Structure 1
Amino acid sequence: MAHIIVVGNEKGGAGKSTVSMHVATALARMGFKVSALDLDLRQRTMGRYVENRREFIEQSGLELASADCHDLPEIDASTLQPGENIYDHRLSAAVARLEPDSDFILIDCPGSHTRLSQVAHSLADTLITPLNDSFIDFDLLAHTDAAGEKITGPSVYSEMVWNARQLRAQAGLKPIDWVVMRNRVGTQRMVNKEKMERAVNMLAERVGFRIVPGFSERVIFRELFPRGLTLLDLKDIGVKQLNISNVAARQELRDMMKGLRLPGVTVDF
């Protein structure tokens, strides 16, 4: 059975597609067979990333390890039973088709609540939730008091993950390993940063997720997208000397991959 990684957060701009592409490419470079599904059927950032990568490989003649991005299959609506949702069948059919030939299936969810996203979360063996270091983004996970010091209750996204966990338990599947990844954390010591750290740690104990370091805000990610490249590809395309920012970004990726604790994965880049 393929290990299913779902990258989800109902708020846009948290870095889901950047995380998805780097995780998928890192696994592919390690020799794993990685299949990807982009559930943002309108924007398709992950899908565009993979298409850009394929075009760059064809034009440059380089051999770069890559994930294979697949579209959801079409389903004949006439075959559905009353009350059945066509998106449930499209996603389950895609996963069933990819599982026999994949070590990992990575599913990139849209930055909004959709039926596809909801079903994908219930399929996750590992759930990665990128989170910007801001109480605006944190509010998606939990509500806090005015001072940001006390959690008053879980929010909509945490409740959706809880429901997904319940569905997996009822089906006899292993629990979701939920990982929250803090992105764009400031390098300087700031009051907001310290409050966020305390809040995330408190919530982790309360609702049951692990915390791993994410990516800092770096221009390099925006520069890599048009060619479908990742930090791991820089030397392959002829960058002989990485600058300090790029070296730091690679270390962040290394720490992130180690923190995910994916089965059979030894981080050696």
Structure 2
Amino acid sequence: MVILIGNQKGGAGKSTLTLLLANYLTALRGRRVTVLDMDYQQSIATKAVKAKILENEPLYEIIPSDLKHFPMLLKVLGNNQGEIVLIDLPGKMDDDGLIPVFLAGDVILCPFNYDEFSVDSTLLFALVTQKINNKAPFIFVPNRIKTTVKYDTRLEVDKVLQRFGVVTPGIADRVDFQRVNTLHIPAIILPVVLPVLDLIYESYLLKEEAK
């Protein structure tokens, strides 16, 4: 199974959500996971290097990769039965090399914030990816929600996004998210993220695997 995590807007929490899901799947669900870090900043790969310097092995393999190597990587990883491949996508969508990546996705996750720029980028990401791959379930994850966001604003945005996919419960903004790494999810944020991660896993990942 291939899960894409993407959004054009920087700061939406794409890489953090990838780490949260990778840690959750391995530590709490006992699944085999490989992360392809295709983001230009490669923050996940950097965290993995830091963990190894401290002589801590990550729970899963993290491969820094660019778009041109994706077809070969997918061919290799696709032979591993039961493997879940998480792909932290690049923040830009102006590369034709993204087309085979989008086509490979079994599930697409899109973290976003409730601000004008993030919502516009989120809609564009959804439009483009669904034109290429309209079979994969599209899941919007409201992320790093500020306490200042109005309830009516959230309802309006969710209503628009629901034309393209499902909107999960939101994840509140917490400074503790900065402590998420390739080794664990800080216990203090588990009550915040588990309802969302459980929903994604039980309602979408398991169903897609059963097809």
Q: Same fold (TM over 0.5)?
A: yes
1:4-43 counterparts in 2 under 5 A? Answer: 4-29=2-27, 30-40=29-39, 42-43=40-41
Which residue pairs with 1:111 in the alignment?
91
The AA in structure 2 aligned to 1:183 is N
> Helix, strand or coil for the counterpart of 2:78?
helix
1:218 aligned to 2:174?
A: yes
Secondary structure of 1:231's partner?
A: coil
Whichever residue aligns with residue 110 of structure 1, its letter is: P
Worse overlay, 108-117 or 91-100: 108-117
Change (3 A) 1:141 1:17: closer
CA distance, structure 2, for counterparts of residue 117 and residue 197 of structure 1 = 31
Matches within 5 A, 1:1-269: 3-29=1-27, 30-40=29-39, 42-56=40-54, 58=55, 66-72=59-65, 87=67, 90-101=69-80, 103-113=83-93, 114-142=95-123, 156-166=124-134, 175-187=135-147, 190-191=149-150, 193-204=151-162, 206-207=163-164, 209-225=165-181, 228-231=182-185, 246=188, 249-260=189-200, 261=203, 262-263=205-206
Query: How many equivalent residue pairs?
Result: 202
Note the alpha carbon deviations across 1:149-194, whole angstroms, 9 max, x for none: xxxxxxx32221222225xxxxxxxx20110000122346x53x42
Equivalent position SS for 2:4: strand
Asked if structure 1 preserves the Cα contact closer than 8 Å seen for 2:7 and 2:122, the reply is no
- Return the alpha-carbon distance in structure 2 between the equivalents of residues 133 and 141 of structure 1: 10
Distance 1:106 1:221 in 2: 19
Letter in 1 for 2:73: A
Task: Say what the alpha-carbon RMSD is for the aligned residues.
Answer: 2.5
Judging changes above 3 Å, is the alpha-carbon distance between structure 1 residues 131 and 25 closer, same or farther for their aligned structure 2 residues? same
Aligned-pair CA distance for 1:213: 2.6
Q: Which amino acid aligns with 1:253?
A: V
The CA deviation at 1:224 is 4.0
Q: Please give the per-residue CA displacement for 1:84-109, whole angstroms capped at 9, x wherever unaligned.
A: xxx45x21110111122252000001
Q: Mark the runs of 5 or more structure 1 residues left unpaired by the alignment.
A: 74-86, 143-155, 167-174, 235-245
Kindly state the Cα deviation for residue 47 of structure 1 after the two structures are TM-superposed.
1.3
Larger radius of gyration: 1
Whether the 8 Å contact between 1:135 and 1:196 is mirrored in structure 2 is no
- Aligned-residue sequence identity (percent) comes to 21
TM-score by length of 2: 0.83
Scaled by the length of structure 1, what TM-score is found?
A: 0.67
Q: Map Cα deviations across residues 106-142 of structure 1 (whole Å, 9 max, x no partner).
A: 0001222133444322211111000012122111234
Following TM superposition, by how much is the alpha carbon of 1:65 offset from its aligned partner in structure 2, in angstroms? Answer: 6.3
**Residues in 2 aligned to 1:43 and 1:17: alpha-carbon distance in whole angstroms:** 10
Aligned counterparts of 2:96 and 2:35: Cα–Cα separation in 1: 18
Counterparts of 1:224 and 1:203 in 2: how far apart (Å)?
27
CA distance in 2, matches of 1:220, 1:195: 26
